[in-house]
Chain A
Amino acid sequence: MEKSLEPILKDLQGKFGATYEEFRGELHCFVKAEQIIDALTLLRDAHHFELLSALTAVDYYPQNAPRFHVIYQLTSVSKNLSVQLRVPVNGDQPKVPTAANVYKVGLWRERELLDMFGIEFEGHPDPRRILMPDGTEGHPLRKDFPLGYEEPQFTFNYEEIDLRKPYVKE
């Protein structure tokens, strides 16, 4: 881990009791969902992390506690540092407070997470789907979402598929 990351880690450990992992020199800090807004605000204001460069999630299905990690990848342009905050959340209907008031980009990133993983962000001003059309059922990037595989049409099963393929009417 880089030397300049150590005071940041100390601060997070002291204020939020954060645990951490190190992976190839990168710092991953685990914080609780109810602390994430304070942690992001602290990193933005006291440690010059101006940029929320990624806000994403991982589904650890079939594990249920935690089922998801919500991942905040922060970049400090002025100090050339990056740090990752991870929020483990349990269950199929996870809720995390919105980060849109700390980083504006959260407005769209959180809509993407709602769309793809079904993670609800409490306090989000506009919680709609962003990628899939309205009326889509389920959340495509969840591991238990069906792959949506349709059987390819070959010579041997041409007619069988032709009969049930939903061709459009004029």
Chain B
Amino acid sequence: MGVEQKLGNMGVVTTTLENVVNWSRTNAMWPMLFGLACCAIEMMSAQAAHYDMSRFGMELMRASPRQSDLMIVAGRVSKKMGPVLRRLYDQMPEPKWVIAMGDCASCGGVFNNYAIYQGVDEVVPVDVYVAGCPPRPEALIHGVLTLYEKVNAMKLVEKPAEAK
């Protein structure tokens, strides 16, 4: 019923373990179901039928941090939300990644005041920043694909010479 019937016997494919691991990580990267502000609307839109992020293996938003690989910080992080966000991040299993979606999460955006963190990188380490206020769904998907490039370049074991 699958591709093997159309192509005939595909036999054996050889690859490296690293490639397989990184491929499985990128193609089943489950984001956490978690939105902080208006960027979450665009995130939902990116998930929905029109933009359909499930093409990239992200069809499942997990409501629990223990089941998710990716945290999309969609919106401004207030000083009171910071510890909560950090706690959610700490509950996620390794390996884990963070996308700062939008200007507010990246650098504070227009909210340059006492209540808002000037960038979520003061709370959790960020892998990809997506600019825009809010970013269009295409921009978020581009950010996700940029993250995939980063993940695909990851090494399972650091070579001794490269190790710090």
Residues of A within 8 A of B (CB): 131-133, 136, 140, 145-150, 152-153, 165-168, 170
Contact = CB atoms under 8 A, between A and B. Distances in A.
A136 B83 CA distance: 14
Given A150-B108, A152-B107, A140 B114 contact: yes
Contacts, number: 40
Given A167-B121, A168-B123, A133 B79 contact: yes
A166 B122 contact: yes
Given A150-B118, A167-B122, 5 more contacts: A132-B79, A148-B114, A165-B122, A168-B122, A168-B125
Contacts of A165: 118-119, 121-122
B125 A170 contact: yes
A150 B113 CA distance: 8
A168 B113 contact: no
A170 B124 CA distance: 7
A136 B114 CA distance: 10
11 contacts: A131-B80, A132-B79, A133-B79, A133-B80, A148-B112, A149-B113, A153-B107, A165-B119, A167-B125, A168-B124, A170-B125
Q: Which 4 A-B pairs give the minimum distances between C-beta atoms?
A: A148-B114, A133-B80, A150-B118, A140-B114
Interface residues of B, number: 17
Contacts of A140: 114-115
A133 B112 contact: no
Contacts of A133: 79-80, 83
Nearest to B119: A165
A115 to B, nearest CB: 11
B48 to A, nearest CB: 32
A36 to B, nearest CB: 30
B124 A150 contact: no
